[in-house]
Amino acid sequence: MRELRLIFAALLLLAASATQAQTSYKAPTGYSFQTADDYAEYEPQVIAAVNWLEKTPMNQQAVLRKETDQFLFQWISGSSSVSVQLQKYVADLAGQDSELLMLFMGGWARYQLQHPEAKDPAVLNTEGIRTMLRAYQAGGFKKNKQLDELTKLETKGTLAEWVKKQLAG
């Protein structure tokens, strides 16, 4: 019985820390992007924003998600550190869900910030798709058969090959 109480207490602590981790994120406010230094100053917040978006279920914290999306879109649109290129296949995957496009762009941007030497479009596209898939798996999105299939490819380790075929075709 004592062991059950300890397990229960541990589960409560884990749940509380997971909830705290989700709510400790704050979207940047008061930002102004005028110079290259302005963009560089916010690079850590870009990474944190993408991390939060991909881990937080789509149907949670709608206001914070919208603020985060606005920040990311403004930053990605003007930054010289990253150059996200949207392909038709990505738009087809996202369909009418603009959040999936934002996740793709965020994943690409995060990877490019963390790996400034990365220039290969296949690698950058794959990282954008991986971010979409992680967010999709976190929940809150409408069922998407294509993303379900890509999740299987990622599990098998063949997602990058699929992306290369999309870019070639």
pLDDT digits (tens, 9 = 90+) for 94-120: 998 999 999 999 999 999 999 999 999
* Average pLDDT for 11-40: 74
Residue 11 has pLDDT above 50, yes or no: no
Distance CA 36, CA 74 (A): 13
Q: Which amino acid is at 30?
A: G
Distance CA 86, CA 12 (A): 42
Question: What contacts 59, CB < 8 A, 6 or more positions away?
Answer: 139, 140
Q: Give how far Cα 47 sits from Cα of 22, 70, 82, 103, Å.
A: 15, 14, 12, 12
**Predicted TM-score (pTM) of this structure:** 0.85
Least confident of 22-26, 133-137, 142-146: 22-26
Where is pLDDT greater, at 41 or 169?
Answer: 41
pLDDT in tens, 56-89: 999 999 999 999 999 999 999 999 999 999 999 9
Q: How would residue 20 be classed by pLDDT, with cut points 50, 70 and 90?
A: very low
Nearest to 40 by CA among 113, 104, 102: 113
